[in-house]
Amino acid sequence: MLELQGKRVVLGITGGVAAYKAAGLARLLGKAGAAVDVVMTEAGARFVAPLTFQALTGRPVFVSLWDAPQESVAGGMAHIDLTRDAAAVLVAPATANFIAKVAHGFADDLLSTLCLARDCPLLVAPAMNRQMWEHPATARNVAQLRADGVAVLGPASGEQACGEVGAGRMLEPFEILDALIAFFQPKILAGKRVLLTAGPTFEALDPVRGLTNSSSGKMGFALARACAEVGAGVTAVCGPVSLPTPAGVTRIDVQSALEMRDAVLAQMPQTDIFISVAAVADFRPAAPAAHKIKKGTKTLTLELLANPDILAEVAARADAPFCVGFAAESQNLAEYAEGKRRAKKLPLVVGNLVKDGLGGDANAVTLFDAAGAHPVPPADKLTVARTIVRHIAEMVRR
């Protein structure tokens, strides 16, 4: 997806070991459609040669205030003109020294001067030793950046180049790209608390076998990310899936439908919007075996009990949040999805045919509300999720 198509990003690179990751970031920004202008500090250029970034971006690389003027910069005023019409300045890695400079308004090289004279948002991805990150001076500087409206991305925690372990690692390039894309999304659900369910449930027959389905959880996780991107506080109650948790999302892992119900109900007091995406099993074994069932017989008879309808229970509450249901059908989509919406008294149902979405990376859905049916063009699940979230936000604002 060319999610940054038409945007120009100034990528600043300072002198940290994580500068090598910036090469991958520059490539990802370009693949997302952005035009990338790279500005390096002299220390940054000691870690990765400017020629690397020129090859990756196809554009000149800027290092010094005293370089000969580039044809791409009007009047040779790189520290001013590079940020005019730029969508953002993104500094990755941002060292402790650079963060201190920006926090106190120092402007002694091209990148720090550019940040002081910028005419666009600034985002920084810190990268430093854990003790440098935890130092009170760094904490004060980072707090000042945030107070000044600078977006601070990360850092992550883990093993560092120095051999120590802790907070201070720069986020991975794909995480920074996702954060930048999220930064540009309008915050149409700011202040709202979203609870959603995702993935299948697993109803145990014995300690190793169970009843489940082919739901991958991808649509639910795409919706969780899309909600977080637009400013919502998001909690996802997830069945057994191995997908990475989107940034800014609180994850609660469960196995069975009963566990999912308990987790959902526990979150109700602080929920404004409930999106029921999970493919919850309709039935569960009445008496799961305590030990593995052996293959000694030709047939196996199971007694099944109906699982609770989590969405119907939530929608029927006196303090019910805005509820969104999903209807995955094999036929008669409009009839069944609209029937589900009316029967459960839901403001919105998202319907799709199983062949179009279950387990895959793309989806084609139709939104059913009181105004009728609204088809959404087929697309990858994140694009579809963003369309659904915009529709939800419009309905919530009415």
Annotated catalytic sites, by residue? 162
Instruction: Identify whether the C-beta of residue 30 lies closer than 8 Å to the C-beta of residue 2.
Output: no
Instruction: Identify whether the C-beta of residue 10 lies closer than 8 Å to the C-beta of residue 62.
Output: no
Name the token pair of 186: 């309008």
